[in-house]
Amino acid sequence: MRQLQRLTIVTQQVQGQSITLTVEQQHYLSRVLRLRSGDRFLALLDSGVTWLAKLEEGTAELLEPQEVKTELPLNVTLVLSLPKGSGFDEVVRQVTELGVSRIVPVISDRTVLKPSANRRDRWQRIAGEATEQSERSQTPTVEEPIDFSRYLNELEMSKSNDLRYFCWGRGDSVHLLSHLQNDLLGGDQIAMNIGITIAIGPEGGWTDEEVDRSVKAGFVSVSLGKRILRAITAPASAMAIVGAVLEYRV
Ligand code: SAH
């Protein structure tokens, strides 16, 4: 059977069983995807539920909810120091494909790029496109960039009891894989109600103060292997390890 096309819909567009399509969405469905009135597609609602939908004139009708099982069983937050140039676009795309739930762009001591206005909207859009492409049902949230020290303060004040890992290429940290195996697979099954937060530094690395401060905020420093990865390679590498631990079944 032909794969159904996917389209992200925000809840405000839905009334009862009817979706009001934006002009861009109408153009995309009819001109780009060449769907006609009566054709089916998958509506990815931002509530996380995917529906089979039928295209009509300027609207679409929700037909029935679909069982989509493409999400990781736990929420994974990536706290990422912004890299130079436009490298972050690709990072957002890759980690979305790999199942991240939330991306917090941070400005750390050695961050070179100061993000321009509207960057968040652009990254959120990229996350939406990657969600559709990788057939996920939940679009990750990309937050406004925040100073790393402020992020840590807020984290400490929050009630979050996430497992917190801090990627550090220097030093003799234990591998992320070993930590995840111990922390998540200790019992007979994955501890399902816990989230994971992973912090990754900029090209220039973390300063010693940031390492100390993170440890005080409950982060454990972890290794991603013996080679030093670029700031735009490390996030995908970390997410691939998390995904493998969460989805691997003997
Ligand atoms: N120039 C820095 C390296 C920065 S790499 C230095 O010489 O130390 C960018 C970020 O990727 C690092 O801050 C770290 O969070 C992560 N990273 C890269 N390689 C890693 C590794 N092997 N183990 C753990 N984290 C790593």
Give yes or no for residue 146 having a pLDDT over 50.
Answer: yes
Asked if residue 241 has its Cβ within 6 Å of ligand 1, the reply is: no
Token readout for 101 is 């739930």
Token readout for 131 is 């969600």
Q: What's the rounded Cα separation, in Å, for the pair 164 and 151?
A: 13
What is the atom index within ligand 1 of the atom nearest the CA of 204?
1
State the pTM of this model: 0.82
Q: Secondary structure of the chain: what % helix, strand, coil (to 5)?
A: 30, 25, 45
What is the atom index within ligand 1 of the atom nearest the CA of 225?
22
189-210 pLDDT, tens digit per residue, is 555 568 999 999 999 999 999 9
Q: What's the rounded Cα separation, in Å, for the pair 214 and 152?
A: 7
Number of H helices, E strands in the chain: 7, 14
CB contact at 8 A, 19 and 58? no
85-114 pLDDT, tens digit per residue, is 789 999 999 999 999 999 999 999 998 877
pLDDT band at 36 (very low <50, low <70, confident <90, very high): very high
* Domains defined along the chain, listed by start: 6-66 (2.40.240.20), 76-248 (3.40.1280.10)
For residue 201, how far is its CA from the centre of ligand 1 (angstroms)?
6
Q: What's the rounded Cα separation, in Å, for the pair 207 and 212?
A: 9
Strand stretches in 84-147, DSSP E? 102-107, 141-142, 146-147
Which of 205, 206, 197 lies closest to 242 in space, CA to CA?
Answer: 197
